[in-house]
């Protein structure tokens, strides 16, 4: 579980020292030097409220989340080691093993959570890094000392891995955010396309690829042509050369193989096009696959025979371009 773990910013230097030297992340509201208030105490909530003269039990009740800490949980401490930076700490042991109460603490930092590892204490992780944009956008609303934030676990695990690999995660710009956003949108779109039918209905991957071909000036003149000897063409397409320039005449002939694959597409689709192109020398070839990559053999054969390999990311980029050009009426109609 991932937790946002705030601390007394006026005691940041001492909180940082304890993390570095004692491997303990300190938390306030523990009764200070004269009134021990460990969270293991049965009446901790009302006693903490009364001692600190709080208007409600909101903060003391929130502190009880520390009782739920388990070995390996992550604590995110914004503005530690310094303003604008963030560090991440790995809880050492299930509660109460991870809990270290410090009696007689004049700074009131009596509560402590043992951690076995910390990253970002060198100031290498900016709260303005692109990977943390969603979390930082909500940080001002995460006011209580201890809050579960499981919705941000994927982002923080990425940051944790990059930091452990020695990568500095400094402040990012808008361009970095837009690039990351595009990547996430494409991944989401690919996941949606993976769920539709490959070819047997109006809402299918083949129908979508055909729409993209038409969007780019091609006419589909035949479908599913195969000779029983290895040649196989899912879409036979033509485009008038004058669509691009008035100085050329005739047609461009394109053979397309469409594969709704996941992960990797091998050389078979390329082989099918090569055999089909052997009978029509003027034809060009293209393999459209939802897979993220093509095998080394597929890439070699495609390069030797002038065949275009189009993976899922490229196809999804074309889908986004197509959607952005759809009439507003069509978009509204689809939402009604």
Q: Which two tokens stand for residue 11?
A: 């005691």
State the Cα–Cα distance between residues 95 and 73, nearest whole angstrom: 11
Side-chain-facing half-sphere of 334: CA atoms under 13 Å: 7
**What is the helix (H) or strand (E) element at residue 235, kind and residue range?**
strand 232-240
Question: How many Å from the N-terminal Cα to the C-terminal Cα in the chain?
Answer: 39
- pTM of structure: 0.66
| Strand 2-5, strand 74-78: pairing | parallel
Predicted local confidence at residue 335, as pLDDT: 41
Predicted local confidence at residue 244, as pLDDT: 60
Q: How would you write the pLDDT of the chain (336 residues) with one tens digit per residue?
A: 999 999 998 999 999 999 999 999 999 999 999 899 999 999 999 999 999 999 999 999 999 999 999 999 999 999 999 999 999 999 999 999 999 999 999 999 999 999 999 999 999 999 999 999 999 998 988 889 999 999 999 999 999 999 999 988 999 888 888 888 888 899 899 999 999 999 888 999 999 999 999 998 899 999 988 887 888 899 999 988 766 666 666 788 999 999 999 999 999 999 999 999 988 888 899 999 999 999 999 999 999 998 999 999 999 999 988 887 776 454 334 443
Tell me the torsion sign for CA atoms 256, 261, 266, 272: negative
Helices of type H across the chain: 12-22, 44-51, 58-63, 133-138, 153-164, 174-193, 205-215, 268-277, 296-305, 312-324, 328-335
Give residues with Cβ within 8 angstroms of 159, minimum separation 6: 88, 125, 129, 131, 132, 169
Predicted local confidence at residue 233, as pLDDT: 92
CA 10, distance to chain mean position in Å, is 34
Give residues with Cβ within 8 angstroms of 166, minimum separation 6: none
Predicted local confidence at residue 184, as pLDDT: 87
State the Cα–Cα distance between residues 51 and 37, nearest whole angstrom: 9
Tell me the torsion sign for CA atoms 293, 297, 299, 301: negative
Predicted local confidence at residue 250, as pLDDT: 72
Are the C-beta atoms of residues 255 and 236 closer than 8 Å to each other? yes
Predicted local confidence at residue 105, as pLDDT: 94
State the Cα–Cα distance between residues 83 and 56, nearest whole angstrom: 29
Predicted local confidence at residue 332, as pLDDT: 38
Question: What domains are defined for the chain?
Answer: 2-172 (no CATH), 205-331 (3.40.1350.10)
Predicted local confidence at residue 54, as pLDDT: 93
Residues, the chain: 336
State the Cα–Cα distance between residues 309 and 322, nearest whole angstrom: 20
State the Cα–Cα distance between residues 286 and 299, nearest whole angstrom: 12
Q: Which two tokens stand for residue 116?
A: 């076995």
């Amino acid at each position: 579980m991932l937790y946002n773990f705030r601390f007394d910013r006026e005691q940041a230097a001492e909180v940082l020292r304890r993390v570095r030297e004692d491997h303990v992340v300190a938390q306030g509201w523990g009764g200070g030097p004269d009134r021990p208030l460990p969270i293991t105490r049965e009446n901790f909530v009302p006693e903490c409220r009364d001692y600190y003269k709080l208007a409600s039990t909101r903060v003391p009740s929130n502190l009880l989340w520390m009782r739920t800490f388990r070995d390996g949980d992550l604590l995110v401490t914004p503005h530690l080691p310094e303003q604008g930076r963030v560090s991440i700490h790995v809880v050492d042991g299930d509660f109460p093993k991870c809990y270290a109460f410090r009696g007689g603490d004049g700074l009131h930092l009596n509560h402590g959570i043992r951690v076995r590892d910390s990253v970002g204490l060198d100031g290498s992780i900016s709260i303005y890094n692109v990977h943390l944009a969603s979390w930082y956008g909500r940080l001002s609303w995460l006011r209580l000392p201890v809050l579960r934030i499981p919705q941000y676990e994927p982002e923080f695990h990425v940051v944790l891995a990059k930091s452990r690999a020695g990568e500095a995660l400094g402040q990012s710009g808008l361009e970095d955010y837009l690039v990351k956003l595009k990547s996430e949108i494409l991944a989401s779109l690919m996941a949606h396309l993976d769920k539709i039918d490959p070819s047997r209905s109006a809402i299918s991957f083949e129908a979508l690829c055909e729409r993209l071909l038409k969007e780019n000036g091609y006419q589909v003149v035949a479908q599913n042509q195969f000779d029983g000897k290895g040649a196989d063409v899912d879409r036979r397409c033509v485009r008038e050369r004058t669509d691009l320039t008035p100085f050329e005449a005739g047609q461009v002939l394109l053979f397309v193989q469409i594969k709704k694959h996941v992960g990797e597409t091998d050389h078979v689709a390329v082989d099918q096009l090569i055999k089909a192109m052997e009978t029509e020398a003027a034809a060009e070839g293209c393999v459209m696959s939802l897979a993220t990559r093509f095998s080394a053999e597929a890439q070699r054969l495609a390069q030797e025979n002038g065949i275009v390999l189009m993976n899922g990311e490229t196809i999804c980029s074309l889908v986004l371009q197509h959607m952005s050009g759809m009439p507003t009426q069509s978009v509204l109609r689809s939402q009604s």
